[in-house]
Structure 1
Amino acid sequence: MKTLKHFIYIIVGLVGLVACKPEINTPKPSHGTANFSRFIAVGNSLTAGYADGGLYLQGQLNSYPAIMAKQMLSVGGGTFTQPLFSTAQANGSGYLQLTGFSSTGSPITAPVTSNLAIRGILPVPGFGNVTLYSKYSGDINNYGVPGIKLLNITYAPYGNLNGFYERLLPGDSPTNTTPYLAFITAKPFTFFSNWLGNNDALAYATSGGAGDVLTDPATFAALNTLLINTLTQGGAKGVVATIPDVTSIPYFNTVTEGAILAGVQKANPSVTGLYINALVSGTNYAPRVATPADLIVLTFPTSKIGQPVSTPYGTLPYGLTPYTPIDNQYVLDANEVTLTENAVTAFNSSITSTANAKGLAVFDAYTFLKNIKSNGLVTNGISLNSNYISGGLFSLDGVHLTPRGYAIVANEFIKAINSKYGSNIPLADVAAYGGIKFP
């Protein structure tokens, strides 16, 4: 009898547990205090969907603003129109594709040169050649222009000097006089994303400090304030992103001083170091032995190392003597790294302070990407890191993202928006977007 009562108590208890089973309530999509009916994206190549060293249709379709806009549809978002290349010219500016791997495991890439959207090359006196692309006409929500700096947004002739911007304007170069800031605000909008300013540091860094200059931080701050004031003057809300640390991207972390030296020493153990032409101060450079703090660019042709070079002291091997240092354009040396990092820190201070003053959402891309470099990232059960090709996040140019990388960035923007405006925009399914295409 005692056993029977005990059994009955157990049954009753189990029934009670079933009856009290907790409900899982998924919050319904909501726009919160924001209005996403006309969302525009302001920015450079990252905003445009640039990938693998070029702007092409598949990359445009997987841009982070396009992914964001798709997720916004459930919270009142409207049509998001991009200046897409046509199917017949789907390869746009051309891009890199992975064709295989060498016997040592190094990736082999080749440029895609068919079905391009290039309509000509325009020589601009005192500037150089500008590649012109097939014109786009129609509505635009994605205003991403590869190559643009914050420094350029008020410069009226800029539409004659950047072919990616020129294709969006009705006039042909050299007749354009519409500043970028005026162009992006010509039509009313209700919400914006802004990721301008990367190129104000990146162009200097990727040229090894030799082919560009860092934007003056005071100038950057003034232009950023002007930009945000203009974008918000009609009452629109938005989200801005900080500028990543250049040392967090594969472009500066794949071809390393240590790896090159180890390869040389296999053939010649007597070699003790590589030589670079490094910044001393101001504009003064001097040769010295490279260290791990010196960042060699991804595009450095390592086959140049050891090649004979004619000098006043005789024929000497390239990169292995102080008389034949690796060219400036291939190395962002330690002092140049410091200059770049200081500029980025100042830029980000301007971005965050201005955004906070206007009550805008902020995606801290600097911290996010730096953390991925240090710790990797696991999302939707997928492991990612900042390694070139194998990491899954960065495309073949080592700077821009894969579709999966852009989906991750889109989600970070969305998280910032949801947190700031009390909205509930659903996150994108990162697993639905791919990484590097293997042959």
Structure 2
Amino acid sequence: MKSTYFYKSVLALAILGLASCKPTIDTPAPTKGTADFTRYIALGNSLTAGFSDAGLYLEGQKNSYPEMIAAQMKAVGGGSFSTPFFPEAQFNGSGYLKLTALVNGVPTIVPETSNLAIRGQVGSVNLYTKYTGNIENFGIPGIQLAHAKIPGYGTKNNYYERLLTDATINTPYLDFVTAKPWTFFSNWLGNNDILGYASAGATGTAPTPKGAFASQYAEVITKLTSTGAKGVVATIPDVTKIAYFNTVTLQTLLAAINATPTGKDVKDIYIQTGAGIPRPATAEDLFTLTLSSAGVMGTPNGSNIPYGLHPANPVESHFVLDKAEIAVVNDFVTSYNNSIKDIANAKGLAIMDAYSMLNEYGAGKMVNGIPVSAAFIKGNLFSLDGTHLTPLGYAITANAFIAAINAKYGSNIPVVDVSKYRGVKLP
């Protein structure tokens, strides 16, 4: 997601206070157990790449969870690990969102447009500066499971394209990442098979059919384990619990509208449901982070009907996951996760339950003295896009992967010191 968000009155009601941190951590004696970490490769999408704040940039890449895991693996025989970093002179990569002010709970969030790694464009699609070095972090923003075996996918995804040459431009992703021998892997593919649909209010690309997801996932794992390599997989997070869907709420919308001179005594926000029937929203519906009260809610259309305040001009479906759509999303995520666990267990792999882990931290938890939750900005876990993680969130994720690896293979990879990593960068 690459939208610019200008949150005013709604987020002023949602954001109260910011967190401080004074953590400590113990380091266990390292052992490798039954696993071989000589060459660790990481497969996945934007979360694996270190995507944050609606963009991929050098700081996020350096603070990706595979980078953290690989650094800790060095204590147990891990080898070198390379992420396809953007150049230092183009450290802002694709561009991202930054917080420039936070006044009385009102954030000002704008796009970063300097020092970008853009070498040109094809139509409206940016082409990023090519990377030609070694790669062990194969996180590709936007990739779905089906894309892993598609020849020519490099011509469809600009993040993948920057890693390829003229000779390899048609190489399928799965062939590209397994072109060199590997001894251990992590796999977090599958998130985008539901995320795009959900984040567009169930108006985006349809979820991957459950059977297709299972067969495609099995193909990826069969390839990764074909050499006898061990590894760890991660489940799909609970999309409905991320900050993207839990910041702009019915309560904050009503409070913001009623705080305006023309919005007194408004009791209902009308939404366009997936079934095409306008109705008043309830607390069981989820609004996207991209919906703002400022300049949108209550603004009349050409027929002088206020937006969102009348069934004849409801909040558009792409801004809302209604109750029925939430049930569909949850059903697909549950099915996907059952497939991931079954396939991983059949191959004897470690499983990092990202669904449970992110829900646990999202609900509120202290981590080495740091308060963490899914709250937007103040919660430290999610970045400014409300979907991807902060460096601190990625550190927590790295430790969850490490815990799963240690439990499965009898290893003792040291955990990451989360105190070294920030939450949302404040002005």
Q: Normalised by the size of structure 1, how large is the TM-score?
A: 0.88
Aligned 8 A contact 2:120 2:128 in 1 = yes
Query: Is the partner of 1:438 in helix, strand or coil?
Result: coil
Query: Is the partner of 1:316 in helix, strand or coil?
Result: coil
Taking a change above 3 Å as real, the CA distance of residues 45 and 418 of structure 1, as seen in their structure-2 partners, is: same
Superposed CA RMSD: 1.5
Query: What is the CA distance between 1:102 and its match in structure 2?
Result: 4.2
Which amino acid in the other structure matches residue 206 of structure 1?
S
Taking a change above 3 Å as real, the CA distance of residues 317 and 43 of structure 1, as seen in their structure-2 partners, is: same
Aligned residues: 399
Larger-gyration structure (1/2): 1
Q: Which residue of 2 aligns with 1:71?
A: 72
Q: Which residue of 2 aligns with 1:4?
A: none
Aligned 8 A contact 1:59 1:403 in 2 = yes
Taking a change above 3 Å as real, the CA distance of residues 225 and 253 of structure 1, as seen in their structure-2 partners, is: same
Unaligned runs of 5+ in 1: 1-24, 124-128
Which amino acid in the other structure matches residue 74 of structure 1?
A
Q: Which residue of 2 aligns with 1:85?
A: 86
Q: Which residue of 1 aligns with 2:173?
A: 180
Query: What is the CA distance between 1:381 and its match in structure 2?
Result: 2.1
Query: Is the partner of 1:318 in helix, strand or coil?
Result: coil
Which amino acid in the other structure matches residue 204 of structure 2?
G
Q: Which residue of 2 aligns with 1:8?
A: none
Query: What is the CA distance between 1:151 and its match in structure 2?
Result: 2.2
Larger RCO: 1 or 2 (CA < 8 Å, sep 6+): 2
Pairs within 5 Å for 1:347-426:
347-374=336-363, 376-426=364-414
Query: Is the partner of 1:315 in helix, strand or coil?
Result: coil
Deviation string for 1:249-288 (max 9, x for gaps)? 10000011111012212333332201111022xxxx1111
Deviation string for 1:53-81 (max 9, x for gaps)? 10000000000000000000010000000
Q: Which residue of 2 aligns with 1:293?
A: 284
Once residues 278 and 60 of structure 1 are traced to their aligned partners in structure 2, the CA distance between those partners, rounded to angstroms, is 38
Is 2:317 aligned against 1:328?
Answer: yes
Once residues 212 and 106 of structure 1 are traced to their aligned partners in structure 2, the CA distance between those partners, rounded to angstroms, is 33
Q: Which residue of 2 aligns with 1:155?
A: 150
Unaligned runs of 5+ in 2: 1-25
Query: What is the CA distance between 1:435 and its match in structure 2?
Result: 1.4
Which amino acid in the other structure matches residue 247 of structure 2?
T
Aligned 8 A contact 1:119 1:134 in 2 = yes
The percentage of counterpart residues that share the same residue type is 53
Aligned 8 A contact 2:33 2:411 in 1 = yes
Q: Which residue of 2 aligns with 1:145?
A: 140
Query: What is the CA distance between 1:30 and its match in structure 2?
Result: 0.7
Query: What is the CA distance between 1:83 and its match in structure 2?
Result: 0.3
Taking a change above 3 Å as real, the CA distance of residues 356 and 336 of structure 1, as seen in their structure-2 partners, is: same
Query: What is the CA distance between 1:27 and its match in structure 2?
Result: 5.5
Q: Which residue of 2 aligns with 1:20?
A: none
Which amino acid in the other structure matches residue 422 of structure 1?
G
Is 2:254 aligned against 1:261?
Answer: yes
Once residues 27 and 48 of structure 1 are traced to their aligned partners in structure 2, the CA distance between those partners, rounded to angstroms, is 28
Pairs within 5 Å for 1:218-367:
218-267=211-260, 268-280=263-275, 285-303=276-294, 304-310=296-302, 314-367=303-356
Which amino acid in the other structure matches residue 191 of structure 1?
F
Once residues 237 and 171 of structure 2 are traced to their aligned partners in structure 1, the CA distance between those partners, rounded to angstroms, is 29
Query: Is the partner of 2:231 in helix, strand or coil?
Result: strand
Is 2:52 aligned against 1:51?
Answer: yes
Query: Is the partner of 1:59 in helix, strand or coil?
Result: helix
Deviates more, 1:365-374 or 1:187-196: 365-374
Which amino acid in the other structure matches residue 330 of structure 1?
F
Is 2:418 aligned against 1:430?
Answer: yes
Once residues 62 and 26 of structure 1 are traced to their aligned partners in structure 2, the CA distance between those partners, rounded to angstroms, is 20
Q: Which residue of 1 aligns with 2:40?
A: 39
Q: Which residue of 2 aligns with 1:18?
A: none
Once residues 419 and 173 of structure 2 are traced to their aligned partners in structure 1, the CA distance between those partners, rounded to angstroms, is 35
Which amino acid in the other structure matches residue 72 of structure 1?
M
Aligned 8 A contact 2:232 2:404 in 1 = yes
Query: Is the partner of 1:279 in helix, strand or coil?
Result: coil
Query: Is the partner of 2:119 in helix, strand or coil?
Result: strand
Aligned 8 A contact 1:130 1:162 in 2 = no
Once residues 289 and 203 of structure 2 are traced to their aligned partners in structure 1, the CA distance between those partners, rounded to angstroms, is 16
Query: Is the partner of 1:404 in helix, strand or coil?
Result: helix
Taking a change above 3 Å as real, the CA distance of residues 236 and 265 of structure 1, as seen in their structure-2 partners, is: same
Query: Is the partner of 1:259 in helix, strand or coil?
Result: helix
Deviation string for 1:165-221 (max 9, x for gaps)? 10011129xx93211111111111000001011111111111111122111111100
Aligned 8 A contact 2:39 2:80 in 1 = yes
Q: Which residue of 1 aligns with 2:21?
A: none
Q: Which residue of 2 aligns with 1:194?
A: 187
Once residues 398 and 130 of structure 1 are traced to their aligned partners in structure 2, the CA distance between those partners, rounded to angstroms, is 23
Query: What is the CA distance between 1:157 and its match in structure 2?
Result: 2.2
Q: Normalised by the size of structure 2, how large is the TM-score?
A: 0.91
Query: Is the partner of 1:153 in helix, strand or coil?
Result: helix
Aligned 8 A contact 1:198 1:243 in 2 = yes
Q: Which residue of 2 aligns with 1:9?
A: none
Deviation string for 1:222-259 (max 9, x for gaps)? 00000000000011100000000011210000011111
Once residues 181 and 33 of structure 2 are traced to their aligned partners in structure 1, the CA distance between those partners, rounded to angstroms, is 20
Which amino acid in the other structure matches residue 412 of structure 2?
N
